[in-house]
Structure 1
Amino acid sequence: MHKHLWPLGLLLLVAGCQDMVGPEDISPPPLAPPAISQSHQPHVPAYVPTPPPGQQPPVYRPPYQPPPPAVSGPRAWIPTAPHHQWKWIVIHHSDTRSGSAASFDRYHRSRGWDELGYHFVIGNGNGTGDGVIEVGPRWPKQKIGAHAGVQEYNEYGIGICLVGNFDVSYPTRAQMNSLAHLVAWLMQTYHIPPERVIGHRDCRRTNCPGRYLNINTVRQMAMSYAAAGSPLQKLNSR
């Protein structure tokens, strides 16, 4: 009897082991991370020294591309491009103690403009000679201005900026003299009537060109110079 039961029990045991270790219960063996040779590991220094003052690594800045240099002198007033249909002369102050066409150009470019927004800059002796008229790069090209904040006066207005803050001080005598000569020549050349010689504050809400720059005085001086003869000839003879 036992001889017949032993083979049967062995078969059941084998069958039971096969059920217990079926394919669905086999898990893959855990994989160890791949061995990395010590020679291939990145080197991380424990301490990175800081350069002493004066030896800091230079910070890269793209080089400043200056505009064509502003020129002065009455001959530079004559543009090389065909004359634009100018209707206004808009006078500004820089609201700064010093400045020049080049420094204002850098500032305007930093604000996203393509170049100096004014057509002319008249110095006060701080950054530009007192009474020196600088001709900006827009004028020879007869390019519309970027100075008034109003399309009409940008498109048809000649922008003239005097260096200085005329809410706290007067323009210099040399500045007023140069401004009047320039305005007289522009009035004659482009047939602009005196009433269209205006301050920036006449275009939009602003204090520019300050309380101490009197536009009526500029008009009267310009008309006087224009009546006496060619402003261009007078400036050449000074």
Structure 2
Amino acid sequence: MAGQNRTVAVLFALLAAMTGGAMILMALDNYAPGAGAYSLSSYLRLDPVEQVVKNTLHTTPAQWNGVEIFYSRTAAGNADELPLLMSLADGRAEQFHFLICNGNGAEDGRIQTSSQWSQQLTVKQDGTIRICVIGKERNTLTNSQVQRTNDLVESLSRTFNIGPRQIRYPANW
């Protein structure tokens, strides 16, 4: 019986110590998530993906039947600069509906829309939504870019009923 009382006393002492320690840590914390390469605080500052998809339309949604993701082949850029940068690099400017930024030109993970999206214009005549990701290949992307791209693709596929077979990623994604 004495051994059982001792075990109960130790468990209560441990519980009290853990509770007291947690209260001290919470009192010292400023309740802000830490910043990092892909931290919750940086993710929470970005606009929700659904808001980007739906609130940037200036006309009725078009009939979309696919999603294509491609790299910008540049190290930096944003929706205003990228067409010029791409045309200088190889003589042609890629057209896109969405752009996922990497922190060089706009905030990391920021999803920007183009006029093609807001006006619901197809870039090619195939009804495919084109998403450009700033970077030269997969190993140059940030974690935030990958996560936001996946979130955007998921939102678009839900909103426009696009099946997984109609979603095309780059070969090394």
**Bin for the TM-score computed over the shorter chain:** 0.5 to 0.7
- Which one scores higher on RCO, CA 8 angstroms, separation ≥ 6? 2
Matches within 5 A, 1:173-212: 173-199=143-169, 209=170, 211=172
Give distance in 2, aligned partners of 1:127 and 1:93. 15
Match of 2:132 among 161, 171, 178: 161
Give the superposition deviation at 1:171. 2.1
Q: Deviations over 1:68-123 (max 9, x none)?
A: xxxx834232122111111110000011111111111334677687xx71000001
Which residues of 2 match residues 122-161 of structure 1 at below 5 A? 122-145=100-123, 151-152=125-126, 156-161=127-132
Separation in structure 1 between the aligned mates of residue 114 and residue 160 of structure 2, nearest angstrom? 18
Task: Indicate yes or no: 2:66 matched with 1:88.
Answer: yes
Runs of 4+ in 1 over 6 A off after TM superposition: none
Q: TM-score, normalised by structure 2?
A: 0.62
Residue-by-residue CA offset, 1:207-235 (whole Å, 9 max, x unaligned): xx362x2xxxxxxxxxxxxxxxxxxxxxx
The one-letter code matched in structure 2 to 1:175 is Q
- Tell me the secondary structure at the aligned position of residue 80 of structure 2: helix
Cα separation, partners in 2 of 1:165 and 1:109, compared to 1, 3 Å: closer
Q: Which runs of 5+ in 2 are unaligned?
A: 1-45
Q: Which has the larger radius of gyration?
A: 1
Retained in 2: the 8 A contact 1:119–1:139? Answer: yes
Q: Over the residues paired in the alignment, what is the CA RMSD in angstroms?
A: 2.4
Give yes or no for contact 1:122–1:179 (8 Å, CA) kept in 2: yes
Distance 1:210 1:101, change over 3 A: farther
- Partners of 1:107 and 1:133 in 2: how far apart? 18
Given the alignment of the two structures, is residue 76 of structure 1 paired with residue 30 of structure 2, yes or no?
no
Q: CA deviation digits over 1:154-203, x for unaligned, max 9?
A: xx110001101116x2421101111111111100111000111103xxxx
What TM-score, normalized to structure 1? 0.46
Q: Contact (CA 8 Å) 1:165, 1:210: kept in 2 or not?
A: no
